[in-house]
Every structure is written in C-alpha cells, then in structure tokens.
A and B are shown apart, each in its own frame.
Chain A
Amino acid sequence: MTQIPESKQKVKFYQTGTFTVGNRLLDAEQRTVQATMDRSNSLDSGHRACQGCGEALGARFAIDAAMRATNNQLIAANATGCLEVFTTPYPETAWSIPWIHSLFGNAAAVASGIAAAMKATGRDDVRVIAQGGDGGTTDIGFGCLSGMFDRNDDVLYICYDNEAYMNTGVQRSSATPGAARTATTMPVGEDPGNAFNTGKSVPLIAMAHMIPYVATASVHDLQDLEYKVTKAMQVRGARYIEIFVPCPLGWGSVPGDTVKIARLAVESGMYPLFEAEDGEVTGVTKIRRQVPVGDYLKTQRRFAHVLKPDNAHQLAQLQAVADRNIKRFSLTTPEEA
C-alpha cells in the first residue's frame, strides 16, 4: 500500500501546551502570516464574536493568509451565520476586504458570480473566497456548493465547521457528531444527543467532484492552516477547505480552551487533517501523540452525558469513529524513511 505523505508542514514544535512560543523561535521567513507585522488584518478587532470563538480565529488566519497569497487582490462572499452577524451589523464592519453577504444558502453561487464578473471584466488577478459555517455549507448551501464544484469555478470555499447551527441557538446540522447535545438533539431518552450513522463528510464529497484541491485544517495548527490556504490560492478552479473551529457557547467549553480542544479533536482522531488533489488524498497531518477520545469529549458539556457509565456505549461509538478516521487516513502510521 502506498504510504500517504504527510502535509508539508515546515516546522514542528515541541508540545508545550500552548504552542504560542514556538513561532518566535523560527527564522523570519518561516514564521506564519499571523506572526508578521504586515499581515492584512482582514478581519479586524472590534467585532462581536464570543470569547474564545474558533470561527473568528479561523477566519482571520485563513483570510490573512489568502490576502498574502493574492497580493491583497481578494473579494469574499459570506453566508448568513455567526461570522456574518458578528462582523458586520451596519454601519460597522470588521472586514477590511471587499465583502458581500447575500443569503444563507447561496455563498458559493454568489462567489461564482463574482469570479465570472472578474473574468468577464479582465480582472483575473482578483481572487474570490466564499465562506460560511457548517450549516450554510453542508446543509442549506449544499446545492450551490456542489454546483460551484461541478463547474470548477475559480473560487475557494472555506467552511468554518463548529458542528451545529450556532447563530440560531445551537441546533443540529449534518456536521454534528454522534451523541452531541444540541438544542434539537437533547441528551434525553435512550441514546441521548445526536443519532449515530447520520451526517456527511463534505471534504470527501468535494473530492468526489474531482476538484483540484480539498483540505481540512484546524485552528490549533496555524502553520498547517496557512500552508493549505496559501496552496489553495496558488491553484485555479474550485477549491474547498474545511476548518475545525470550536464554539465555546455551543459546545459548553471554556473560552480559553478553544485551541486546546481543536488540538485534542485532531490528536484523538475525531477530526482528521488531510489534503487532496484532483480527487486523491495527497497528504495527511499525522497524529503526533494520540489521545483517547474521552480526553477530547471531557472538555465539552455537549458530551457530558457520554462520560456517564450508563452511556459507555456512546463513548465506544465515538472512539470507533476516531479509530475509523485514523485507519482510513493512516493518521498514526509512521512515515517511511
């Protein structure tokens, strides 16, 4: 079997628990865009996101990296959702890039239209990003998203995945994991929380469209995230990146733990990081120190019931999900020398 190579992460840091120190130890040219003084601050301070919002972090990381990669020639279309609401109520805006919000389910199509306008008016240097949460992407925006993939329109779609409809008050989406408590999957009755064997993997569905680039990323791994966004902007055609963004409010987690929780999701195998080109997986981010799924779950009240003895079967089911991811993407297999 062909060994899937690890993604091109330049440097790895010793896990001190925060990672914040690591960037400063690097040579200047290896530092992240976020670490530079000339980052674009595309999503500027003063917005209304909750404390510890993973989506605000993810959007800032991704858009700043995309701005760097496109020489600041960027337009973004945004789906309805937290990101739209907390960044813009008129007359204020936290965006320093041209930005449009139209509807919940049409960000991909709006972005396709912008890309077509750029082509028609001879401004091919201006690149287009569509962005939305998991509800706006995997559910209501799915038709337009698939259409954008199908036409291979020159758009990078970024999904900030916090695994439920947070803006409307934490309801289940097709990205909500099994057993998770949401306002529409309450932890009551038998098998409390969200049902297992439901949901979908949009990254894998994106790959089935044979688009040039698909990747998953996480807010805990800034180097990897910026590398993937930068790589995506170097490609023409339809691209998809899903970024794992913990939501303290919806998940019942400590705001200061957002980055840590994101890391535990990846290190437990619950959220595999990989990239794919033209429908084939071309790289994975290996798990460096595997943790049991319980370590990830115990950081979040949405899984509190799973850790009770009565629901041990749910814990086993979630561990099986992680194990399956680890096997499928070879997340723990050592690289060949």
Chain B
Amino acid sequence: MLKQVEGSHAVAEAVGLCRPQVISAYPITPQTHIVEDLGAMVKSGEIKGCEFLLVESEFGALSACIGSSAAGARSYTATSSQGMLFMMEAVYNASGMGLPIVMTVGNRAIGAPINIWNDWGDSMSARDAGWIQLFAESNQQSVDVHIQAFKLAEQLSMPVMVCMDGFILTHSYTRVDIPTQEQVDQFLPPFSPRQVLDPASPLSMGAMVGPEAFTEVRYLAHHKQQEALDLIPKQAAEFEAIFGRDSGGLIKKWDSDGAETVVLTMGSVIGTMKEVLAGMREDGHSIGAITLRSFRPFPTAVLREALKDAKRVIVFEKSLAVGMGGILSMNVRMALQDHPLKVHSVIGGLGGRPITRANLRRMFEKGLRGELEEPHFHDINMDIVNREIEREKSQWKSGSTAENILQDIGVVAAAKTI
C-alpha cells in the first residue's frame, strides 16, 4: 500500500509486519522515531504477541535481545552513534553466539565533538564485529531490506544490521509502498532457531572456548558470511518475485557498465549522485555509479566483475579511519588489488556536512582530471584548518580545537555553511 510516511515510521511498519516477538529500545537520536512508533504499535495491539522492553541503556537493549533470541523469540532493536559504541561488547557477543537479531542503525557521527547528524562512523566501528551490514539507499529500500534481514539472519543464525542514513532517511517523508501482511508471511517463515534455551532439552550456551578451537570458531563465522554472498542475491530474487521490486542484493549498478569512471558509494547519497552523474553523462562524460548494498560480507568477486572494464573508481564515503584514510576505500582497494585501475578515496558528509549536486560535480570533475588528493576530503575548508594548525603551533594552551574553529568562523557564518 502506497503511503507518504516518515522513513522511521515506514521501518517500524516493516518490522511490525515481520512479527517480532521481543523489541527492546533505548532512545537515541536519530533512531528514536522508529522505536517510538513500534512501542505504540505493540501497545495498541497492531503488533500482536510481542513484548516491548524499555531498557536502561543500549548495552541493556542488545543484551535483552541476546536473551530473548537465545530463548527462541524473534528479536529486534535499533540504535545510533554513541548507542552503538555503548552496546559494542554485546554487538560482538550476539554474533559470536550466532543469534539472529536484527538491528537498525540510524547512522550518525560519533563524538567528541558531540554531533547528532549523519555519517557512518557508528556502523563502521562495528564493521569487524561479525554482523551482516546492509546499507539502505532509500526509505523504500529500508523497508524492503528489513524484511529480508530477518530471513537472512535466521537462515544463517547470524545478526544483521540494517544501516540507514540518520535524518536523511529516518526523518524524511517519502512515498513508500508498505507490503501486506500476506506478502511478508509468504516471504518470511516463523523463527525456527538452531539452538534454543528450553527446559525440555537443556543446553549450555556461551561457554568458554580456548586456543584449541577459537580459530576454527572464528573461521566458521567468516565462512558463514561468505555463504551470505550467495544467499543475499538469492533472497533478493525471492523478494522480487513476491513484492515486485528489485530491492536488495549485494550491489546495485547505476549506469556503470561500460563507464570509464565509476563512483562507488553506499546509502542515501546515491539519490543526489545519480542526478549529478546523469548530467555529466549528458555532457559526454563516461561515468556511472555502483552502490554497495552489503558492506559485510564485502562482495569482492561481484565488485571485481562489475568494475572489470572501468579505468577509474572514485570511492565516496562518510567515514574516516583516523590515521589511515577511507574505510570503504581500503576495502575496495583490497578487493581490486590486482586490477589495473586507479582508486580515488573521497571522504565527505562527516557529521552531516551537506553533500550537494554542485559540490559533487566539482569533485567528480576533479577526479576525471586526476586531480584528487589522496585521500580527498570533500568540501573541506582548508583555511579554517590551517588557522587552527597555526594557533596550535604558536600557543601551547591552545584550548579546544572544536571551539577554536567555531570561534574562528563565527556563529552566523557557521550557520550559513549548512
């Protein structure tokens, strides 16, 4: 059914259609609207047979899901930013125990300085945690990917993170086709866990494993993610057969076949990018894009095939490994290590910095001319940076960098930059 709804509400409806049995929630911007709506849906009876736990922290939120999932209940939670970091011990624990929890991440920057706006710092901090990480490009896809996430998680006995850009998706009102309960029931069977806490057949879960088997346990987690590389496209095809939409899979090509330059990114920024790229193609440039829909597992083989004819890849990401560079670009470079093509790393949109058609086009054109620095910080104001570097050189007690920069820009001017 077509609706004009907020992204968070659409996700809440999608989760509700998946018949969750335990939802735990701790509020953090910009995830809040998702769990608020789910709370109301459980209370009103719209979602039946579901317990809604209001926990004391994100650590408690995911820990409760660990308990409920281990006890055989389909379990869901959502978080963002600092919340992801606060629950990190449980993030690793859930995947280590193979519990098929689904968690939405409303992607938001990590402080300090505290910042509530969008980038991928939170999801990237968990990139090695053993969860499947799927990135949504639109609110429609957020809905569709959540439905696939439960099936994927339960099929593999592995938790799945659905990553959607905070505010840009979570808080935007767009047209979304909300599936029917019948469609979802046809796609998603009831949860049948591989192991469950049950007095009828007692077992011990989560016990210690020493050096004699730890490597094999870890290898099998990796192996399972490799299996997901086959399962994700298969389930996307099943999804398309029932729901009539191509809305999943490992990657999505946006006129990239045959393009000399391919922009590689994830998430909602493709919405702006595809318009810019269409304009550039009209002007005679050979340029397209690919979005990664699955970051973990990383679709190495599929990506190599998709980029086999490209001469240049511009990786655009909203994340930074401080002291190293782009995180997505590192992964791409590893996947393409023996490909004779140039990989540019562009880091942008940090802490919600606007990504506009104009600044994207300028950056792409620089890329086509081979003028992008390595890595390239998109839309950075180097005058501000250099003034702060000078300040730190000239005075020892230079104070807070973040405060100095804003004093420097001035509040009014700062407001104008966004």
Binds A, one of B68-76, B149-157, B256-264, B293-301: B68-76
Query: Are A95 and B202 also in contact (CB < 8 A) when A75-B197, A116-B22, A143-B56 are?
Result: yes
For the complex, count residues of A whose C-beta is within 8 A of B: 44
| In the complex, residue of chain B having the shortest beta-carbon distance to the beta carbon of A118 | B71
Interface majority SS (helix, strand, loop, mixed), chain A? mixed
Query: Are A106 and B206 also in contact (CB < 8 A) when A98-B197, A117-B73, A120-B73 are?
Result: no
Binds B, one of A20-28, A82-90, A187-195, A233-241: A82-90
Q: Does residue B404 face the partner (Cβ distance < 8 Å to A)?
A: no
Q: Does residue B172 face the partner (Cβ distance < 8 Å to A)?
A: no
Binds A, one of B58-66, B176-184, B282-290, B320-328: B58-66
Q: Does residue A53 face the partner (Cβ distance < 8 Å to B)?
A: no
A254 to B7, CA, bound (A): 64
B68 touching A113, Cβ below 8 Å? yes
B199 touching A74, Cβ below 8 Å? yes
From the candidates A72, A105, A109, A115, name the one contacting B55 in the complex (CB within 8 A): A109
A110 to B53, CA, bound (A): 12
A113 touching B57, Cβ below 8 Å? no
| In the complex, residue of chain A having the shortest beta-carbon distance to the beta carbon of B50 | A120
Q: Which residue of A90, A96, A98, A116 has the most chain B CB atoms within 10 A of its CB atom?
A: A116
A114 to B69, CA, bound (A): 8
**B223 CB, min distance to chain A CBs, angstroms:** 19
A118 to B67, CA, bound (A): 10
A321 to B209, CA, bound (A): 43
Query: Are A114 and B55 also in contact (CB < 8 A) when A93-B204, A121-B21 are?
Result: no
Q: Which residues of A contact B68 (CB under 8 A)?
A: 113-114, 116-117, 120
Question: B186-239: which have CB < 8 Å to A?
Answer: 197-199, 201-210, 213
From the candidates A90, A114, A147, name the one contacting B60 in the complex (CB within 8 A): A147
Q: Does residue B51 face the partner (Cβ distance < 8 Å to A)?
A: yes
Q: Which residues of B contact A74 (CB under 8 A)?
A: 199
Q: Which residues of B contact A75 (CB under 8 A)?
A: 71, 197-199
**A29 CB, min distance to chain B CBs, angstroms:** 25
| In the complex, residue of chain B having the shortest beta-carbon distance to the beta carbon of A153 | B53
| In the complex, residue of chain A having the shortest beta-carbon distance to the beta carbon of B206 | A101
A332 to B71, CA, bound (A): 46
A101 to B90, CA, bound (A): 12
| In the complex, residue of chain B having the shortest beta-carbon distance to the beta carbon of A90 | B207
B90 touching A114, Cβ below 8 Å? no
Q: Which residues of A contact B (CB under 8 A)?
A: 72-75, 77, 84-85, 88-90, 93, 95-103, 105-106, 109-122, 126, 143-144, 146-147, 150-151, 153
Mind listing 20 A-B residue pairs with CB under 8 Å? A73-B199, A89-B210, A93-B204, A99-B197, A99-B202, A102-B90, A110-B67, A110-B70, A112-B53, A113-B71, A113-B73, A116-B64, A117-B69, A117-B75, A118-B71, A120-B50, A121-B73, A126-B199, A143-B60, A153-B53
Counting from the closest, the 9 A-B pairs by CB-CB distance are: A113-B67, A147-B56, A117-B73, A109-B63, A106-B63, A113-B64, A117-B71, A110-B67, A113-B68
